[in-house]
Amino acid sequence: MTAKHPCPVCGQTDLVEKASSIYLAGLLGQKAAGGAGEAQPPAKISPWVNELSPTERRALGKRLAPPASGQKLPARPIHPDQAVIAFSLVTPIFLYGMWNTQRALLLPALFALAVFFGFYFWKRKTILARYIRQLEQRKVSDERTRRGIERWMKLYYCARDDVVYFPGSSESTPADQLPGLLMRNISS
């Protein structure tokens, strides 16, 4: 069992557990629901969590989930020069095919390529600045999420008062306001 830190509202520890432990117990219940049998929460968790049904553990775990980055896919932006180089390496294949089958389209295609490359090199500084800005925004977002998760790992939950709090703190926050608590006071 984890070391208990008294709830700042009721001052008791009997219905207190780390938020991360409850979250993991909820995940175990969710995985068991998909497979055969029912997974039990970790042995080191408080007895009151073990008494919850798997559905209740999942619901509580979902409420106490760690902060998410907000990004849909972990796709990394591609450097614009890399995209142009890849395009340039493929282009001769298409030009060769036009030379052999549709010579009438070769001159307009070459003109379109010249316009494309001219536009790219004309706007390259702007395009690179936008790319660098995206990388910086991603880095700031990732750092903010990392710090939010670090704070979440220290958080405790009191089932009696339905609040979350940091050990040693005299302040508590309703569990439904957890995301705001984790991201509060984290400078960008």
Collect all residues with Cβ–Cβ distance below 8 Å to 10 and sequence separation of at least 6. Answer: 158, 160, 161
Cβ proximity of 156 and 79 under 8 Å: no
175 vs 158: CA distance, rounded Å: 9
* Alpha-carbon gap, residue 132 to 83, rounded angstroms: 15
Residue type, 81: D
CA–CA gap between residue 183 and residue 172 (Å, rounded): 15
For residue range 59-116, what is the model confidence (pLDDT) as tens digits? 888 888 888 755 555 567 889 999 999 999 999 999 999 999 998 999 999 999 999 9
Structure confidence at residue 81 (pLDDT): 94
Token pair of 123, please? 């706007």
| Closest-CA residue to 10 (of 180, 170, 179) | 170
Measured between alpha carbons, how far is residue 60 from residues 65, 71, 175 in Å?
9, 24, 9
DSSP single-letter state for residue 76:
P
Q: What is the mean pLDDT of residues 118-139?
A: 94
Share of the chain above pLDDT 70, in %: 84
Predicted confidence (pLDDT) per residue in 6-60, tens digit: 999 998 888 899 998 888 888 876 554 445 455 554 557 778 887 888 888 888 8
Q: What is the mean pLDDT of residues 139-144?
A: 88
Write down the H helix ranges in the chain.
Answer: 19-34, 47-50, 54-63, 80-101, 103-153, 178-183
Q: Which residues of 62-86 are buried (b: 16+ CB within 10 A; e: fewer)?
A: ebbbbbeeeeeeeeeeeeeeeebee
The model's pTM? 0.65
pLDDT value at residue 61: 87
